């Protein structure tokens, strides 16, 4: 039996218990997966209590991904590069930290949407935790170049410098975006949480695939992309399900089927 959970604050909205229950049914693996509200400042204690009670693994969401990184004894390459952990596996006395957000985005783009990144020009909007988690898996697909544009330019520049050893990156402020052809725009900003739209020139969307990491609503970014001739406009539901599938596999060794779950949640 795998005793699993997701820790966050807030956590009530989380779809993870539902997604993992479907994966367990599909694969015949017996799991118990609960939502756990961790008080701000008390994540480490709550996680340790869960492990003492027999917890074998857990997901971590906002705002605890960096603290989860800190409590891990070993880190996967993705977690190391991201500087954040969204999945922990309890292995004997050790906590193994992984970050499946980027793998989730990659699988949604490649397996579900049939989008290849090789030789493409990518533009990421935002330089926060979500952007950090997706950059390495994107660079591993050999894009022509990966640009990071952020409202606060300095954060985009330092993120681009940090990842330059993995591929061709550059970082700048949103105001410096040139409307030259971009193949794929990934909105990794949290603008949609306040029903806002990052300040991007309209021409940038023309002929591009526009992917918003946000899910559960049609965002202003998605409306903007549609109105400015994007060739495909996608929300982050597929990424959510795919990152959950990668976590499930990390814990159980079993790979669930994701498409049926994405369709079910999109209803
Ligand atoms: P962070 O708080 O770490 O970063 C937020 C980023 O958004 C910053 O770069 C910030 O810029 C930028 N931003 C916020 N508001 C605006 C605005 N009005 N205009 C332009 N830029 C803005 O958040 P995360 O990186 O953790 O999360 C980002 C999004 O990704 C969230 O919506 C989250 O729900 C989603 N997400 C989806 C996942 C999925 O599975 N689908 C997984 C993980 C995240 P600045 O630096 O200037 O403040």
Q: In angstroms, what is the span from residue 171 Cα to ligand 1's centroid?
A: 16
Q: In angstroms, what is the span from residue 231 Cα to ligand 1's centroid?
A: 23
**Cβ–Cβ under 8 Å, residues 4 and 57:** yes
CB of 129 sitting under 6 A from ligand 1: yes
Q: In angstroms, what is the span from residue 23 Cα to ligand 1's centroid?
A: 28
Nearest CA to ligand 1 atom 19: 198
CA-closest candidate to residue 214, choices 182, 236, 199, 186: 236
Positions marked catalytic = 65
* Residue range 21-36: mean pLDDT, rounded: 97
* Confidence (pLDDT) at 5: 98
Strands of 145-150's sheet, edge to edge? Answer: 169-173, 145-150, 121-125, 184-187, 209-212, 232-234
Domains of the chain by residue range = 2-99+238-265, 102-235
Domains 2-99+238-265 and 102-235 alike in fold: yes
The closest-lying atom of ligand 1 relative to the alpha carbon of residue 104 is: 40
Question: Which one of 63, 188, 193, 211 would you pick to mutate in the ligand 1 pocket, going by the greatest count of ligand atoms within 8 A of its CB?
Answer: 188
CB count within 10 Å of CB 191 equals 19
Q: Please tell me the pTM assigned to this model.
A: 0.95
Q: In angstroms, what is the span from residue 63 Cα to ligand 1's centroid?
A: 12
Place of tokens 């591993």: 140
∠ Cα 69 74 75 (to 5°): 60
- The pLDDT tens digits of the residues spanning 173-207 come to 999 999 788 999 999 999 998 999 999 999 999 99
112 exposed, middle or buried (CB, 10 Å; 0-12, 13-18, 19+)? Answer: middle
CB of 134 sitting under 6 A from ligand 1: no
CB of 156 sitting under 6 A from ligand 1: no
CB count within 10 Å of CB 162 equals 15
Q: What span, in angstroms and rounded, lies between the C-alpha atoms of 60 and 34?
A: 12
- The pLDDT tens digits of the residues spanning 118-165 come to 999 999 999 998 999 999 999 999 999 999 999 999 999 999 999 999
Query: Is residue 25 predicted with pLDDT exceeding 90?
Result: yes
Residue 13's contacts (CB-CB under 8 Å, 6 or more residues apart) are none
The enclosing H or E element of 266 equals: helix 259-266
Place of tokens 């030789």: 119
CB count within 10 Å of CB 157 equals 17
Instruction: Report in angstroms the alpha-carbon separations of 244 from 112, 153, 235.
Output: 15, 31, 16
* CATH of the domain spanning 102-235: 3.40.50.720
17 exposed, middle or buried (CB, 10 Å; 0-12, 13-18, 19+)? Answer: middle
The residues that bridge with 7 in the sheet, in sequence order, are 36, 60
Nearest CA to ligand 1 atom 12: 189
Q: Which CATH number fits domain 2-99+238-265: 3.90.1150.10, 3.90.79.10, 3.40.50.10860, 3.30.1370.100?
A: 3.40.50.10860
Q: In angstroms, what is the span from residue 125 Cα to ligand 1's centroid?
A: 9
Size of the chain, expressed as the number of residues it contains: 267
Query: Angle, nearest 10°, between helix axes 129-139 and 153-163?
Result: 30
- The pLDDT tens digits of the residues spanning 96-122 come to 999 999 999 999 999 999 999 999 999
CB of 83 sitting under 6 A from ligand 1: no
């Amino acid at each position: 039996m795998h005793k699993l959970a997701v820790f966050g604050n807030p956590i009530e909205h989380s779809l993870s218990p539902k997604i993992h229950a479907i994966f367990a049914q599909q694969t015949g693996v017996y799991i118990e997966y609960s939502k756990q509200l961790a008080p701000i400042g008390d994540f480490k204690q709550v996680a340790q209590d869960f492990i003492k009670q027999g917890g074998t693994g857990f997901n971590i969401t906002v705002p605890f991904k960096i603290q989860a990184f800190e409590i891990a004894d070993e880190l996967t390459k993705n977690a190391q590069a991201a500087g954040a952990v969204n999945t922990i596996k309890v292995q004997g006395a050790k906590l193994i930290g992984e970050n499946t957000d980027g793998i989730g985005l990659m699988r949604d783009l490649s397996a579900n949407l049939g989008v290849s990144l090789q030789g493409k020009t990518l533009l990421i909007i935002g330089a926060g935790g979500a952007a950090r988690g997706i950059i390495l898996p994107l660079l591993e697909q050999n894009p022509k170049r990966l640009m990071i544009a952020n409202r606060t330019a300095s954060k985009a520049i330092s993120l681009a410098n940090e990842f330059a050893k993995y591929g061709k990156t550059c970082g700048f402020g949103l105001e410096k975006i040139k409307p030259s052809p971009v193949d794929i725009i990934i909105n990794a900003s949290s603008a949609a949480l306040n029903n806002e739209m990052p300040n991007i020139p309209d021409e940038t969307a023309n002929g591009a695939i526009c992917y918003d990491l946000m899910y559960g609503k049609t965002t202003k970014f998605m409306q903007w992309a549609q109105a400015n001739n994007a060739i495909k406009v996608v929300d982050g539901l597929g990424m959510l399900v795919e990152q959950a599938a990668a976590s499930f596999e990390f814990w159980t060794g079993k790979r669930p089927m994701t498409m049926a779950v994405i369709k079910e949640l999109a209803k």
